[in-house]
Chains A and B, each alone.
Chain A
Amino acid sequence: MVQSRSLIDESGKRTDGRVIDELREVKINVGIVKNADGSALIEFGKNRIIAAVYGPREVHPKHMALSDRGVVRCRYHMSPFSTDTRKSPAPSRRETEISKVIREALEPALILEDYPRAAIDIFIEILQADGGSRCAGISAASVALADAGINMRDMVSACAAGKVDDKIAVDINDTEDKEGGADMPVAYMPNLKKITLLQLDGELNPNEFNTCLEEAVRGCLKVYEIQRSSLMEKYFGDEKGMKEE
């Protein structure tokens, strides 16, 4: 990719004023879709994403049901007004692919054997996009799944890292994604310490790859703390911590 301008200035600030290892501001609201069994709204910098989870529920069409475990169906969709130029509301090749990778990133965390012949539906609606929407979508969907009371081995947190002006930076935004050197979204189960999604668009040498992965995982851990506090806030309010009898 040809770089037309410098994305990091002399003082080490990026296009949106962050330093190289800084995440955008992340906020998560749990339970905002009352009709859904579980839901979350994530604000990841300028990204605004709603994730809603329904289920376990009956599988239609019935032939999709599996007799030994539940099925997960995921829909990642960008609203027509989520980008600068209108996006057609019909599912694009990109959205179909992202739906698939998000499903595969979340499946390892779900204990699907507990829900034979049932389906878990995950809807991720991008209201406003600014790069890194698949990572933000995964993080929101994971919170929504926990809110829906689906049995999970661990939460899934996601964050991207990449190469900007030959430096490894965490949480790539839209400009850095388009004009930068590489973009690597990672989804991670923080307690089990396992990676469930790893994609890479661009070129990295082995050293850069390792640094990039470490940075992305560090970003995931920061996102996990926010996921955790948002769930704790919704379910336990001020009564945090532990009590013994």
Chain B
Amino acid sequence: MQEVKRKYVIPGDIVAEGNMRPLVNVFKNGNSIVATRIGITESNQDGAKVIPLSGIYFPRANDIVIGKILDHSSLSWSVDINSCFAAHLPAQDIFGRDFSPAHDDMGRQLSTGDVIVARIAIFDRTRDPILTIQDKDLGKIPTGELIKISPTRVPRLIGKRGSMIQTIEKASSTRITIGQNGIIVVSGKDKEGTTLAINAIHMVEVEAHTSNLTQRIKQLLNVPESEIESDAQTNDSNDTTINQDGINSNNNDKEMGMINSNGSK
């Protein structure tokens, strides 16, 4: 395994010194790499970065988000994606290229207050995010319990290759849809399962950076002892810190974007 150095930092703290590449949430000041957020550092030969522990959602292209329809104009819906920018879902995305505001009734497809899972198709510094729902598992969410957590906890909630979220889904018999903007929809057959899943999610949010979290979650969910012990070995490395997938390359982002109960994307 690659050697990774970790420490707790606040803005202004030195993450690493020497000729290293600054990755995310850090900047280069002379010969040192300095943290810009509160979080846990991670430095290896690729470079140095900080996994943040606080902050609101800032959109990035290709993120999977859950949003609420606020309103629509004659050409697009505006969607609240829990960020400082209102996102837009173009009507052409649903009606196709021959969309005509005169003939197609936008209110019939999506109305104010509807909740959707969407992917951020385009976003850069100069314009508001443009969404798309033309992908597998994207679109309107018909039912479920909507909860909000800090977006910085989303990678930990998903866990390595979806391990944490799959554990919660399996134990509570629910289907959980996670948006990278910190909005989560829990849909279950019964109230008990949904409540259990919500409690587990809140526990992950509060204790995201602590050790042995997976085991404590399993205890909360009443997962049989034998499974806890057999998983303890494999999960130890995951538990030492917030999972780093959240700020890696695009491939990882897609992997952690949204995971359904069967484990597929």
> A residues within 8 Å of B by Cβ?
37-38, 55-58, 67-68, 109, 111, 114-119, 146-155, 189-192, 228, 231-232, 235-236, 239-245
> Please, which residues of chain B bring their CB within 8 A of the CB of A67?
126
In residues 1-42 of chain B, which contact A (Cβ within 8 Å)? 1, 3-8, 10-14, 25, 27, 29, 34, 36-38
Given contacts A155-B10, A192-B29, A244-B4, could you give 9 more A-B pairs where the C-beta distance is less than 8 Å?
Answer: A118-B85, A149-B152, A151-B11, A152-B11, A153-B36, A189-B12, A239-B209, A242-B8, A245-B6
Q: Mark B194-232, 1 if CB is under 8 A from A, else 0.
A: 000000000000000110000000000000000000000
Which of A57, A149, A239, A242 has most chain B Cβ within 10 Å?
A: A149
A244 to B25, CA, bound (A): 20
Judged by DSSP, the binding face of B is loop
Shortest A125–chain B CB gap in Å is: 21
> B residues within 8 Å of A by Cβ?
1, 3-8, 10-14, 25, 27, 29, 34, 36-38, 52-56, 58, 84-86, 125-126, 152, 209-210, 237, 240
| Residue in A151, A189, A242 whose CB lies within 8 Å of B7 | A242
The reply to whether B240 and A245 contact each other, CB–CB distance below 8 Å, is yes
> Please, which residues of chain A bring their CB within 8 A of the CB of B58?
56, 114-115
The 5 sampled A-B contact pairs (Cβ below 8 Å) are: A153-B36, A231-B38, A236-B8, A243-B6, A244-B6
The reply to whether A239 and B210 contact each other, CB–CB distance below 8 Å, is yes
Given A57-B84, A111-B27, CB of A245 within 8 Å of CB of B36: no
The reply to whether B8 and A146 contact each other, CB–CB distance below 8 Å, is no
A104 to B34, CA, bound (A): 22
Closest chain B residue to A240 by CB distance?
A: B8
**Which 6 residue pairs are nearest across A and B when measured between Cβ atoms?**
A149-B55, A154-B12, A242-B7, A152-B11, A149-B54, A191-B12
Closest chain B residue to A155 by CB distance?
A: B12
Closest chain B residue to A31 by CB distance?
A: B54
A37 to B58, CA, bound (A): 13
| Residue in A116, A149, A232 whose CB lies within 8 Å of B56 | A149
A234 to B216, CA, bound (A): 21
Closest chain A residue to B150 by CB distance?
A: A149
> Please, which residues of chain A bring their CB within 8 A of the CB of B36?
111, 151-153
Closest chain B residue to A227 by CB distance?
A: B10
A127 to B111, CA, bound (A): 45
Shortest A135–chain B CB gap in Å is: 18
Shortest B201–chain A CB gap in Å is: 18
Given A117-B85, A149-B38, A245-B3, CB of A235 within 8 Å of CB of B12: no
Shortest A37–chain B CB gap in Å is: 6
Closest chain B residue to A67 by CB distance?
A: B126
> Please, which residues of chain B bring their CB within 8 A of the CB of A153?
11-12, 27, 29, 34, 36
Closest chain B residue to A147 by CB distance?
A: B54
Shortest A110–chain B CB gap in Å is: 10
The reply to whether A146 and B56 contact each other, CB–CB distance below 8 Å, is no
Given A153-B27, A191-B13, CB of A56 within 8 Å of CB of B56: yes
Shortest B138–chain A CB gap in Å is: 25
> Please, which residues of chain A bring their CB within 8 A of the CB of B54?
38, 146-149, 235
Given A149-B38, A235-B54, A245-B3, CB of A116 within 8 Å of CB of B11: no
Closest chain B residue to A58 by CB distance?
A: B84
> Please, which residues of chain B bring their CB within 8 A of the CB of A56?
56, 58, 84
